[in-house]
Structure 1
């Protein structure tokens, strides 16, 4: 029997804004994870180090027991930092288990329900001058769906002039691509309740694939008004961190697409549970993923076994990744090859991502100090980014 006792945990903070985790076992089998909150990499790193006491010496194959201890072993639970630290550890443990049994993770989760997964990528949207150019780049790269910001910084009650600008970007794409390109619109929590319905009125004629985070997650109670107002599917969930965070929104039926992040919402173990909860409410899954290759592979393994998964985000080529993109840290980038808008079923053992550790170590010497930009309105008041 293979000895999977955990002997070491290492962390690599690398550009553009990522944190990689490596778990080593007695047998030499290693697993990779991405425990990070964008803009809080050092904080999550500290949390992982605090959790090491519960992990070192444990059998890496006991994934569920380790998850429960990491979550319930502290009196204070949940939230972005703890859940992101757990996420990266959980991803690495599934990677180890799959490698030790020589099967891909999706086989350990019950086996695939599909042989390929539809993908989309982000193209911006704040500036109409670059929308068409970026959309053509993504279409030429093989994508059949994109997502962009619906608006830049927006006042709590915006001028009619600013409201009228909002629909211009998606209008440009509809005129250029017709309905051959699916277009998601991310409100990014930039829009406050007084403006949501008015913006929907402007956007509805251009038929977006979905509207994401129409309000900030702390205002999810207002989704019941928005949901009744429009036929456009509502997506949310990238800033929700466990099944308990999703419980109320699923039960109230005010969303059509949930978007848990595999590096924030408890990893593969927890997001698979969240997906199953959503299926019981006839709600679909589209995991949030603006991060690196381990996070993307983790998303895909959950997608492959979730009947309600509809589309997967990828950050390949996203503007954050200038100089260091997803594929740059991989020895086998071909697993993420896009074919007619889809990534095919991953077949290698574990997560299937082979990390170029030499490249990772070199990039860790550079590190990063990425932080959210701080925006302000014309009057000096803080603006949501």
Structure 2
């Protein structure tokens, strides 16, 4: 079964879809994207496909090795995200050609449902509380929030209190039966995380995400030692080699992104590596339906899976395309805060190619917001 062609589709709100075609009439879909760098990622996919067209579509691991290690310069978000989308599409082709879901090819399912969480947004405590209650009313049993806007590297007691007040409002709104995770989004310095996180411990958080920037991964150990809140990270780590110092620092939850960290192939390996460190898996996925479908295939095969992110209501423009780009949205139905195990072949979804083409005709130019501190210097978004 030879790869004979491909097509890329930039679609709103900020996504890039890839279809890979074979001479057997079987096509697979992937989602290669660096948010804010869709055109750059698309060009990297095109370069990779120069090698892949004419190759055997079933040699997924060999293609992964060539695309990640065949060049003198390796790694990074652009190359690994391009490989990620291609890898997803090849697994989709493999599953479709054999008539089985991808998780069956990864060793079979280890669970019947995968728990998911929803995002809550707002700047005032009351606004956040209302948003959290709305997610719970939809049937979700876990929510995640960013508890701050921009923060100075060492901010004021008032800024710290605003963080505490926001998270407290959400806890009061949803009660003790609902899990709450917080995402520092790289806005906290190591010192700020060590100051703030112990103050949040009485609120019983599920985890704290990215309490230091990825370039400070060696400093994670100091944060882990400073708090009893489980520490999570990984959305900006692109391989198992990138994750190694995070595991050694004592994180509790690994968050590889299946569209950035080498696709299904590498995410599954990161999950296995995490298991050897007693670390749980919570894949990062603020993306589209193909990426979520790929995450779920790993989730159902990984023994150490914890919970899955999904982008409905995430706030990066209109995320309704998560469902609107599918022929049938039922595979993403939430039942008691979880998604049932997909049984359809490949990634388990059918992409509405007509709708994707209409959206791609409009395209998008989404860029990462640019924030500055009061003194005019660059602030982490």
1:47 and 2:47 equivalent? Answer: no
The two structures have a TM-score, normalised by structure 1, of: 0.97
Q: What 5-or-longer segments of structure 2 have no aligned partner?
A: none
Deviation at 1:302, TM superposition (A): 0.5
Counterpart residue number, 2:354: 358
Q: What 5-or-longer segments of structure 1 have no aligned partner?
A: none
1:169 and 2:166 equivalent? Answer: yes
1:15–1:324: 8 Å Cα contact kept in structure 2? no
Counterpart residue number, 1:87: 84
Deviation at 1:382, TM superposition (A): 1.2
1:208 and 2:201 equivalent? Answer: no
1:263 and 2:259 equivalent? Answer: yes
Name the CA distance, whole Å, in 2 between partners of 1:207 and 1:148.
14
The count of aligned residue pairs is 381
Q: How does 1:326-365 map to 2 (within 5 A)?
A: 326-365=322-361
Deviation at 1:124, TM superposition (A): 2.3
2:41–2:78: 8 Å Cα contact kept in structure 1? yes
Name the CA distance, whole Å, in 1 between partners of 2:311 and 2:208.
19
Counterpart residue number, 2:215: 218
Worse overlay, 70-79 or 201-210: 201-210
Counterpart residue number, 1:139: 136
Name the CA distance, whole Å, in 1 between partners of 2:4 and 2:108.
30
Name the CA distance, whole Å, in 2 between partners of 1:163 and 1:65.
49
Name the CA distance, whole Å, in 2 between partners of 1:20 and 1:254.
35
Offset from partner CA, 1:302-339 (integer Å, 9 cap, x none): 01011101100011222114164300100110001000
Calculate the aligned-residue CA RMSD, in Å: 1.1
1:26 and 2:23 equivalent? Answer: yes
Q: 1:317 to 1:323 in 2, by over 3 A?
A: closer
Name the CA distance, whole Å, in 2 between partners of 1:83 and 1:260.
12
Counterpart residue number, 2:237: 240
Name the CA distance, whole Å, in 2 between partners of 1:369 and 1:53.
26
Name the CA distance, whole Å, in 2 between partners of 1:88 and 1:183.
30
Counterpart residue number, 1:320: 316
Counterpart residue number, 2:281: 285
Pick from 302, 305, 308 the counterpart of residue 306 of structure 1: 302
Offset from partner CA, 1:194-248 (integer Å, 9 cap, x none): 2112111331221211110001010111111111111110000100001111122
Offset from partner CA, 1:246-300 (integer Å, 9 cap, x none): 12222x1420000000000000000101100110111111000000011001111
Name the CA distance, whole Å, in 1 between partners of 2:116 and 2:170.
18
Offset from partner CA, 1:147-188 (integer Å, 9 cap, x none): 000211000110111111111111112212211210000011
Counterpart residue number, 2:33: 36
Q: 1:171 to 1:113 in 2, by over 3 A?
A: same
Counterpart residue number, 1:69: 66
1:377 and 2:377 equivalent? Answer: no
Deviation at 1:358, TM superposition (A): 0.6
Q: State the secondary structure of the residue aligned to 1:221.
A: helix
Q: State the secondary structure of the residue aligned to 1:319.
A: coil
Q: How does 1:53-202 map to 2 (within 5 A)?
A: 53-202=50-199
Name the CA distance, whole Å, in 1 between partners of 2:62 and 2:309.
30
Name the CA distance, whole Å, in 1 between partners of 2:180 and 2:313.
17
Counterpart residue number, 2:5: 8
Deviation at 1:127, TM superposition (A): 4.0
2:136–2:174: 8 Å Cα contact kept in structure 1? no
1:166–1:202: 8 Å Cα contact kept in structure 2? no
Q: State the secondary structure of the residue aligned to 1:200.
A: helix
Q: State the secondary structure of the residue aligned to 1:23.
A: strand
2:312–2:320: 8 Å Cα contact kept in structure 1? no
The two structures have a TM-score, normalised by structure 2, of: 0.98
Q: State the secondary structure of the residue aligned to 1:167.
A: helix
Q: State the secondary structure of the residue aligned to 1:184.
A: strand
